Structure 1
Amino acid sequence: MEQRGRTGGRDRDDEGRARNARPRDGLGRPLPYGTPGVARQPEGVVRSPERTVAEAQALLDAGKPFHAHEVFEDAWKSRPDGERGLWRGLAQLAVGLTHAARGNPTGGARLLRRGADAVEEWATVSGRTAPFGMDATGLVRWGRDLAAEVTRDAAKVDAVERAPRLRG
């Protein structure tokens, strides 16, 4: 959506809804107005599961887990009820990596565990460990392992080096 600027001290979109128009860096952190930032993901895009996975993987590989989280969030909001737990869990894994890369080990570990639990629960209930070609079991293991690492080391991680492989 087009960003119309500030109204009453708040950024608003063309429909008058509050939307933060500040530019963002590659990890989704707000930058000062007027600073060049990374292009934001468009909101509300309905994608096929395969396209969602491909776009999210490209963003993860580029060190943009916050942006991948937004792609997963679109799927979470637009896919059938029976899939939403999977997409929500994947969004939580991506934002957990975002926090870990920003140097927030507590928040990162919490979201990584929550995401791993959600993906595992969805796979258990649905009986699918390879939904849309993804490796649910591997993603659960990746999330838990990274959560343990950031808890133990309390250090920033490199988002590119630690990006998960969505497909085995």
Structure 2
Amino acid sequence: MTQARGRDRDDAGRARSARPRDGLGRPLPYGEPGVPRQPEGIVRSPERTVTEAQALLDSGRPFHAHEVFEDAWKTGPEEERPLWRALAQLAVGLTHAARGNPTGGVRLLRRGADEIARWTGPAYGMDLPGVTGWARALADEVALDERPVDPARRAPRLR
């Protein structure tokens, strides 16, 4: 990481914060210990994507799971991008719900659920109706009770 014009940059010169982050992806002050970030741009098989994202969700790190789904969205076949984008939205929705942002959590959980419900392509072993039901139920709960949720306890079962 380098700094140019006051902004952190990655080795390719793209803006990317070098600040450490906590388990929910919130920036911490420079010099604080943080949770290791997910590397960007990793090309994974769909099955590996699901396995890695599930492990991150299970450990209470939905922000990091979102980054794994985002890699699939950005590096996978064009026709599969809606699936991976929707799963990334669900992970970010859980992140917002865990951070205590009910509005963002509800919005992203519902948006992702709607996209997955429309998906007619391959499921890669995922229980997409179950994931959709999980997202809608969590969105309804967060809308009624705005307290932060425990992301590990409320993680979806993708398979």
- Quote the RMSD (CA, aligned, Å): 0.9
* Matched residue type, 1:160: A
Give the gaps of 5 or more residues in structure 2: none
Aligned equivalents of 2:93, 2:14: Cα separation in 1: 27
1:38-71 Cα shifts (integer Å, max 9, x gaps): 0000000000000000000000000000000000
Residue number among 130, 149, 152 corresponding to 1:157 in the alignment: 149
Q: Residue 98 of structure 2 corresponds to which residue in structure 1?
A: 101
* Distance in structure 2 (CA, Å) of the matches to 1:164 and 1:135: 10
Inter-partner Cα distance in structure 2 for 1:153 and 1:29: 22
Q: Give the length in aligned residue pairs.
A: 159
For 1:85-135, what per-residue CA distance to the aligned partner results, in whole angstroms no more than 9, with x for missing partners?
110100000000000000000100000000001111113xx3x5xx11000
Partner of residue 47 from structure 2, selected from 47, 50, 53: 50
Q: Which secondary structure state, in structure 2, belongs to the residue aligned with residue 11 of structure 1?
A: strand
Aligned residue type for 1:107: G
- Identity between Structure 1 and Structure 2 (%): 72
Structure 1 stretches of at least 4 aligned residues deviating more than 2 Å after TM superposition: none
| Structure 1 segments unaligned to the other structure (5+ residues) | none
**Which residue of 2 is the match for residue 70 of structure 1?**
67
Q: Please report the TM-score for the alignment, with normalisation by the length of structure 1.
A: 0.92
Quote the residue 2:81 is aligned against.
84
> Is 1:148 matched with 2:140?
yes
Who is 1:15 aligned against?
Answer: 12
